[in-house]
């Protein structure tokens, strides 16, 4: 099993999207990329922790590739919006790929470059591609939130 970590706005819809993919073994939502140890949701919402709402995906690379996960990431949010997705704004809603290996870094950079060369978006892609750091799991009520509420999605498709 391998891990991939993505931030693409509110983590509820992002998690639901990745959970539905064959080959994804598990997901968990949380906070990463900031400076505060063990932040709460309330802390992250202050926009002062530096953390992004993110989804950690555990997947079976024999069943789904990292490149396939990247494709889903790019297709399911607007990577040209700086520190926001739809009505949600703040650095916690930024677009970011947190890579876990040099191979993931290379694949993420190549996928971003390919989208830029293809002029897929009318504005520049602002997605950060940075090393994975400590991931702090969000409170239980955030885990599989949409499933618990009987909702299909809440994210913005690009």
Catalytic residue IDs: 10
What is the three-state SS of the chain? CEEEEEEECCHHHHHHHHHCCCCEEEEEEEEECCCCCCCCHHHHHCCCCCCEEEEEEEECCCCCCHHHHHHHHHHCCCCCCCCEECCEECHHHCEEEEECCHHHHHHHHHHHHHHHHCCCCCCCCCCEEEECCCEEECCHHHCCHHHHHCCCCCCCCC
């Amino acid at each position: 099993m391998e891990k991939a970590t993505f931030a693409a706005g509110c983590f509820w819809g992002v998690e639901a999207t990745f959970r539905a993919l064959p080959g994804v073994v598990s997901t968990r939502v949380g906070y990463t990329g900031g400076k505060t140890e063990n932040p709460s949701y309330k802390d992250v919402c202050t926009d002062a922790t530096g953390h992004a709402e993110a989804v950690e995906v555990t997947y079976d690379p024999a069943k789904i590739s990292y490149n396939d996960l990247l494709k889903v990431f790019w297709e399911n949010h607007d990577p040209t919006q700086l520190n926001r997705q739809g009505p949600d704004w703040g650095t916690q809603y930024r677009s970011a790929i947190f890579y876990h290996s040099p191979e993931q870094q290379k694949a993420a950079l190549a996928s971003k470059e390919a989208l830029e060369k293809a002029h897929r978006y009318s504005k520049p892609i602002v997605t950060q591609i940075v090393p994975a750091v400590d991931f702090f799991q969000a409170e239980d009520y955030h885990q599989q939130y949409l499933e618990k509420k009987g909702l299909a999605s809440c994210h913005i498709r690009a």
